[in-house]
Structure 1
Amino acid sequence: MSCLAAAVLLGIPASPAALAQSLLSDAPAAPPAVSLRGLGDSTILSTRPVALARAGAARDINLAAFEQSRSALALEGEDDVVELTFVLDAGHVAEGGDLVIAYRNAVSVMPEASMVSVMINGAPVGDFPIRSPSGFARQVIDVSPALLRAGVNEVRLRAVQRHRVDCSMEATYELWTEIDGQASGFRSRSALRPEDFQSLRTLGRTEHGLTDLRLVLPAGAGAATLTRAAPVVQTLALALNRDDLSVTVAESEGRGPGIDLIVATDDDPGSLAAAGSAPYGLSVAAGADAGRARVVLRAATAGEIPGLLLSAVQGPLQPVLDTGIRARRKGEIRAAENSAYTLADAGYVAAPFSGRLFHTGFDMILPADFYPAEYATLDLALHAATSPGLKPTSQLLVRVNGHIVKSLPMRDADGEVFSGRKLELPLRAFRPGRNQIELLAELERAADDACVFAERDDSVPRFILLDTTEIRVPALARVARSPELAALAGSAYPYASPSGVSVHALKPDAGSVSAAMTMIAKMGLAARAPVMARMEFGPPSADAGANAIVIASRRAVEALSGLEPAASPPAAQAIDFARARDFADPMPTASIHLPGAAVAMSMATDPAALLDAFQQTTRGLATGGSLVRDFGAGLSDASRAFRHWLNYERPSDAAPLVEPLRKALLLQRPSVTGEGVVTWLTADTSLDMVEASDMLADPSVWNRLEGESVVLDLDARTLRATRPQAYFTHDIKDYGPGNLRRIAAAWFSDHFRIYVVLVLALMAVFAIWLGRAVPGAGVRTDR
């Protein structure tokens, strides 16, 4: 794609909705992929198969799906709000229709006192009790055309949930309501047919809860075809404005809800046959399968593709982009340094709260070259109030990326008013890219201990948090550091640069190529503009210094590892669409060396962490103890605990002693020359690569990427991140004295032992100088 097209898509304010979790302690590290079955680790599950609830929705061509992904469809705790959107054209607005909400809830939710209220475009349209613990139930609310508008319509669901039998604060973990995104949405009076770009935003999702984008390619398609298609895939991803996009490549069109994309040129007979009678340029038509769309970009030659794509961006796609990716979403703040924001900027609406555990949250996106360390604080100016009668144990907690970083006691039994009370949040708790900030308030009363239902009075509020609460971002140390997967997930750094990125599929099987195209689409969404991506088959060269992404199955890596760089066979130049026949090796490989490639791969987590976990487990097996050994072990434990505390790590963040049976690894390393960053995605087989790609397409997984490596457990659908032992710096854009001072302060806070040694050395030098200078100075008194 041309640089002009990329420039048109730059400069976009946006925001994915934040997920506020009502957890009082550090968030569990084990299940990072958000469970929609409820809050915390609740095991109260529906007894009805999800497929039964979705079967009817799959055939309902009148249903406009909500744009939000499944990770944003959970109502948790005593009082929670979900903001949803759907898109309609003027014709369907005039007809009116029904808002359909398919939901299920925890058994612990009391139906007599729990309710969901519904608003559309700011107007209340109804409410319904929460009473479906045994399976998905559908609530249908008739919506007048007067409440609808052409384009984007906003739906606000607020759930007030009460526990059946337990009044303790811990019981709020068990309160949840799940919305089924497959069967929910706006059902119009007539069929919805994808006839323009706006209508693409009404399409449903697959059974895995993902938006399916299938790139249809002719037999014999190679890396050049994928490179031409990459900007089209990213532009379509930006137009859809969905953060759960999964891209697959195939020779034929798909089935079920989704989009088939065809990029055709007159000089390529294979692609031209798939395009059929589509006009020149970018066009939309209904697919062969109900609920599926067909998008075709047709050009006379490959050289015309960038110009035609730019014409579409400046023409029919412009209103779609303006109301989608370019519009500000609720629940997100894109922060700049030396700036202040309010909760209102994140879409928060103040309301009195009468429960025991208040929670709200939002996402804050910080610059990709932000250096998190102890040189400043991000300040929260609190505007809130508590009512009389609360226990002296009441407190406000601030949690950043799952870690509690600040608490404010609220001990005044007569109630308190906080007018700009400053809470200093350490910058070390944040990371480049996306950060989740949560505010929680524990608000118990003495009457809660009795827990008599007849004596409950939930009409009296206990707390209110005003939307004037400010978040003040200080001047930041700006220096790009790698490895840092959070910067990749948050803003596609460093691959969104003008030089772009080379994406290598070690073997061009359909699974690896699909994973590569999904990564390209996700980076385009993170950068909010197309990334200049070049597809290549085979490994990057040993002396390559540019940025690269490598997609490889373990079998392909093992085949390459036994060869010398000069003996590496030439990679196949055509995509193998046949079903993968490689199977997982039951013997796990600890590490693999890649000669002729940019980095060395490890199929396990950090070996040092594994050794540490082993030693912790087997320490008690020693036959006899000694004071020296016990002292050394205690010193090691204290050092480890201090390191965890300094870096806001949990002990559970350490590597597990048992590796997942089926896993994928996302790893970032500097290139051999040190001038670029190489990211590897590996899995045991091509089929596992497809599962890994689907996991990364899920925003609840993608938004949690951080550190040097992430292990994806394909069976448990969880991830575990490992922080690097050391970073390397590769980009400083601001050489001003202020930024250099902050970088120095940040570096010393990361290497405080060097700082202590330096201070002691300077004190020693000063003492020596003082000892030599003072005896020879002053006035003689012996005369």
Structure 2
Amino acid sequence: MRGLIFILVAMALPLAGLSHARADQSASPFDMAPERSNAPAPALSPSLPSPVPPTPTANPAPQPAAPPPAVDPTPPPSPQVIAPPSALPKVEAAQAETFDRPLMPFRHLVLEGEVDSRAWYVVLTKNQVASPTTLTLGYKASVVVAPEASRLILSINNQTVFDSPITASDQTGKLSAELPANLLKAGPNLVRLQVVQRHRTDCTINSTYELRTEIDSVATAFHFASSAAARLSRVEDLAATAPDANGLTHLRIIAPSLGAKASANPILRFAQAASILIGMPNLDVLVTDRTGDSIEPGTVTAVIGTVEEVRPLLRTVPRDADSRPIVTFVDDPALGPSTLLVSGPDAASVSKAVDAVGALVDRPRGNIRDMLDTSRWFAPNPPLLLRESHVRFASLGVPTQEFAGRRFRTEFQIGLPSDFYSVSAGEATLLLDAAYSGEVLPGSHLDIYVNGNIAATTPLRTSGGEILRHLPIRIPMTHFRPGPNRVTFEAQLFTTMDSQCAAGPTKGNNRFALFDSSEFVMPDYARIAQQPNLAALQGTAFPYNGAVDPVALVVSRYDSPVMSATATLLARMALAAGRLINIDPNAPSLDDRHALFVAPAPDIPEQVPAQLNLDEQLRTGWKPHNDEPILPSAAAGNPPGPTLATLPVAATEPADTQETFDRWRDTLKAEGGGWRGNVSSFQDWLQRTFQVSSQTLRFLPSRDVAFHPSRDTSAMIAQGPSPSGNKTWTLLTAPSTRELRAGANTLTSSPQWFQLSGRLATYNTRLAEVQIQPVTTSSLTATQPLSFTNLRLIAANWLSENLLAFAFLLFAACLLLGLATALLLSRIGRRISQ
């Protein structure tokens, strides 16, 4: 019994100690605050340092640990770029163990065919490069892709990270790798995705169109082990702003003075500068005066206003904002880490701070670019071909390649200026250096596509193989346009082995080789500006990119939806132009000014619809989608109504065929419709064979018909001449302010933005596509010194667009030649007398 009591006492003593320890912990909880407060702030490297030491005080407020350097583009006072205060309260979200940065700037990336690749640049900060990094990639392939002969390859800065069989067909496959310490670098990093795919069972060329591998944008990302990787240190670090998992990049501008007309200019200039720095093709700009909006992933927040306006929004405002303009990143509990503060003691100082940001990216007037910037979504950048040019494939990012499959495909880009005017005359040339083996049969062919349209086809007729040395392939410039143009080269190779296909992937030697010594040749072409022309707007932001006077900006109101739509449009235009668009919200007159209008349909100024050939009923007859009656549905808790199959069909009298036909003919004629059938077949043959259409079979251009959007149209961008005829007006509109902002995001995002052309573009929500109204009446504006060569090229293109006028001039010239010949012959020689 005594032993049992001893054992019970021995067991009770440790339990009592444990209980005492828990009681002590309850009385004095473990505190991580000292560790958090001692954690080092991210190191910053402002680009233009000018140290200004802080002034000591008796009760010092939280200040930067290092002296704040200043941006000084002009003599003081000047905007100041300072380090975020290390003693500011840390945001708990910033203390995450890792920071994930999506890799792709696209919503969707599908690599198709037997060979395909895509390259782009990802900009990283010094903090991100210094962090241990893991890269993950998610993908899913079509079920017909043979895993034993198909590869997925990802490289960064020309070093292979993944080279894996394509095995994921029933579910998303994931690859992961820790990156070497020296692989990533601060600044741009080249990322290239490639696939080599083979069909499981089929050997026909048609089967190659079934080969698809879709990259999962959500699962493809950098994972940085350090939370400091999420912090931005310099204004230039805006270039490292990451997209969200859907490829959207978000810029949130908080402006307490939103609603005042005077604040519009600095807000919109900052949106343009930030767009050029960020460089992403899908930028959503939100302008608001509130801090309570939810923050989307891939969002950079900027606060713009005087020090008195921003003080209620931020926990701590740097003291330098009371005396001079500043541009600095701060950490704020409500707005988050790396919030960009653009402020100063007054409105003039805020404008100077915005101008300092713009000076980092603005291109001086008269400084002509030699390439267009598409590197964040398609690398390399396309060269800007301003005159006759020979460009080797090597400089276009197309290396020497050998191929053992059936359909070889590669693509590159070239850029054209705003005043490109040769869509109806002139030919580019591809000087092809290639070779194909003896097993390739006659009937194989080489195809060239321009911006997704077939432009040229060259058959391979020689048996036994051939080496092609600078084989000229002529490419009509019908589908070229101002801005970047994507050219796709494709070789379709037929062989006996494929016609006698056995199950399994292709085996054998290489059948085709493409050499990087091939050249793309652009001839001299006509250069004169055509207005209206939305293709020039999306390509280079013409005519606003080179306007000498500020562009008149007319908005219906200065609230968040309208200003967000305006900022989104101007940001996309600035990225296309490669410079800031100088705007003037206070233009006294619009008759002889380039102008930009942003307004919902009811608020469009009265003179604008008639000037842009829009239906006057547009302002009252275009109803918002949310005003349409909502039909009962099962999803809303109501039983479904009768279907079309269950509704009774009323008996009708037989219609008179001729009367019905005449009525339809008259209606479609009034609406600009045409004939189908034998006449249409003849027109289609003319279009395919001679590029002749009803548009070109005209004596002079016809006048545009007033346009009214359909009920499925959610947004529209239209362009036309100013009342003086010398300038251009552009209108962005939608049925309501809500749809105006959504429409601006849709029309300015890729790929919708690159589809803009003609005089008017609308977005159809039912079809989810951009619909174009072509230009029928346009004016030409000289942009180059007039020369005989340029005038000849301009005349050739104009006459090619107006064939009846060309035929009339040719007939008149022949008639004059005949009369002159007859007159000359009547005056020479001797008459024979009877």
Normalised-by-shorter TM-score class = 0.7 to 0.9
- CA displacement at 1:663 relative to structure 2: 2.6
2:829 maps to a residue whose letter is: G
Alpha-carbon displacement from aligned partner over 1:699-752 (angstroms, at most 9, x marks no partner): 211112111111212344311222111211133332122212221222222222
Residue in 2 aligned with 1:734?
A: 785
Q: Mapping of 1:286-365 within 5 angstroms? A: 286=331, 288=333, 293-305=338-350, 307-312=352-357, 329-330=379-380, 332-365=382-415
1:277 maps to a residue whose letter is: V
Of 743, 746, 760, the residue aligned with 1:709 is: 760
Residue in 2 aligned with 1:170?
A: 206
Whether the aligned pair in 2 keeps the contact of 1:109 and 1:164 (CA below 8 Å) is: yes
Residue in 1 aligned with 2:304?
A: 263
More displaced 10-residue stretch of structure 1: 196-205 or 178-187: 196-205
1:484 maps to a residue whose letter is: N
- Is 1:273 the counterpart of 2:312? The answer is yes
Whether the aligned pair in 1 keeps the contact of 2:388 and 2:523 (CA below 8 Å) is: yes
Q: What secondary structure does 1:333 align onto?
A: coil
Q: Mapping of 1:34-113 within 5 angstroms? A: 61-66=98-103, 68-70=105-107, 73-113=109-149
- CA displacement at 1:293 relative to structure 2: 4.0
Alpha-carbon displacement from aligned partner over 1:606-640 (angstroms, at most 9, x marks no partner): xxxxxxxxxxxx999639999xx999985576457
1:554 maps to a residue whose letter is: A
**Residues 691 and 135 of structure 1: is their aligned pair in 2 closer, same or farther, counting only changes over 3 Å?**
farther
* Higher Cα radius of gyration: 2
Q: With CA pairs under 8 Å and 6+ residues apart, which has the higher RCO, 1 or 2?
A: 1
Of 289, 306, 310, the residue aligned with 1:251 is: 289
Residue in 2 aligned with 1:484?
A: 533
Residue in 2 aligned with 1:604?
A: none
Q: What secondary structure does 2:755 align onto?
A: coil
Whether the aligned pair in 2 keeps the contact of 1:61 and 1:291 (CA below 8 Å) is: no
- Count residues in correspondence: 669
Q: Mapping of 1:631-670 within 5 angstroms? A: 634=678, 638-639=682-683, 642=686, 659=710, 661-670=712-721
Distance of 2:279 and 2:328 partners within structure 1: 18
2:493 maps to a residue whose letter is: L
Which residues of structure 2 form unaligned runs of 5+?
1-71, 75-95, 364-368, 611-622, 630-656, 696-704
Of 729, 747, 753, the residue aligned with 1:678 is: 729
Residue in 2 aligned with 1:193?
A: 230
- CA displacement at 1:524 relative to structure 2: 0.7
**Residues 403 and 256 of structure 1: is their aligned pair in 2 closer, same or farther, counting only changes over 3 Å?**
closer
More displaced 10-residue stretch of structure 1: 358-367 or 101-110: 101-110
- Is 1:548 the counterpart of 2:595? The answer is yes
State the percentage of identical aligned residues: 25
Whether the aligned pair in 1 keeps the contact of 2:258 and 2:559 (CA below 8 Å) is: no
- CA displacement at 1:770 relative to structure 2: 3.1
Of 486, 491, 512, the residue aligned with 2:562 is: 512
Q: Mapping of 1:444-593 within 5 angstroms? A: 444-454=494-504, 456-496=505-545, 497-535=547-585, 544-557=591-604, 584-586=626-628
Whether the aligned pair in 1 keeps the contact of 2:98 and 2:224 (CA below 8 Å) is: no
What is the TM-score with the length of structure 1 in the denominator?
0.77
Q: Mapping of 1:422-441 within 5 angstroms? A: 422-441=472-491
Q: What secondary structure does 2:544 align onto?
A: coil
Alpha-carbon displacement from aligned partner over 1:105-131 (angstroms, at most 9, x marks no partner): 223322332211222222223322223
1:673 maps to a residue whose letter is: S
Residue in 2 aligned with 1:778?
A: 829
Distance of 2:421 and 2:658 partners within structure 1: 37
Whether the aligned pair in 2 keeps the contact of 1:664 and 1:684 (CA below 8 Å) is: yes
Distance of 2:748 and 2:797 partners within structure 1: 34
**Residues 636 and 172 of structure 1: is their aligned pair in 2 closer, same or farther, counting only changes over 3 Å?**
closer
- Is 1:282 the counterpart of 2:323? The answer is no
2:387 maps to a residue whose letter is: E
Distance of 1:234 and 1:5 partners within structure 2: 19
- CA displacement at 1:530 relative to structure 2: 0.9
Alpha-carbon displacement from aligned partner over 1:564-603 (angstroms, at most 9, x marks no partner): xxxxxxxxxxxxxxxxx9654549xxxxxxxxxxxxxxxx
**Residues 316 and 419 of structure 1: is their aligned pair in 2 closer, same or farther, counting only changes over 3 Å?**
closer
Whether the aligned pair in 2 keeps the contact of 1:121 and 1:155 (CA below 8 Å) is: yes
Whether the aligned pair in 2 keeps the contact of 1:389 and 1:414 (CA below 8 Å) is: yes
What is the TM-score with the length of structure 2 in the denominator?
0.72
Which residues of structure 1 form unaligned runs of 5+?
7-58, 564-580, 588-617
- CA displacement at 1:402 relative to structure 2: 2.2
Q: What secondary structure does 2:400 align onto?
A: coil
Q: What secondary structure does 2:730 align onto?
A: strand
Whether the aligned pair in 1 keeps the contact of 2:152 and 2:166 (CA below 8 Å) is: yes
**Residues 299 and 217 of structure 1: is their aligned pair in 2 closer, same or farther, counting only changes over 3 Å?**
same
1:256 maps to a residue whose letter is: E
Residue in 2 aligned with 1:139?
A: 175
Residue in 1 aligned with 2:48?
A: none
Residue in 1 aligned with 2:61?
A: none
- CA displacement at 1:452 relative to structure 2: 1.5
Residue in 1 aligned with 2:648?
A: none
Q: Mapping of 1:185-264 within 5 angstroms? A: 185-191=221-227, 192-196=229-233, 197-206=235-244, 208-218=246-256, 221-253=259-291, 254-257=294-297, 258-264=299-305
Whether the aligned pair in 2 keeps the contact of 1:666 and 1:709 (CA below 8 Å) is: yes
- CA displacement at 1:185 relative to structure 2: 2.3
2:305 maps to a residue whose letter is: A
Whether the aligned pair in 2 keeps the contact of 1:193 and 1:199 (CA below 8 Å) is: no
Whether the aligned pair in 1 keeps the contact of 2:374 and 2:380 (CA below 8 Å) is: no
Q: What secondary structure does 2:401 align onto?
A: coil
- CA displacement at 1:182 relative to structure 2: 3.6
- CA displacement at 1:531 relative to structure 2: 1.0
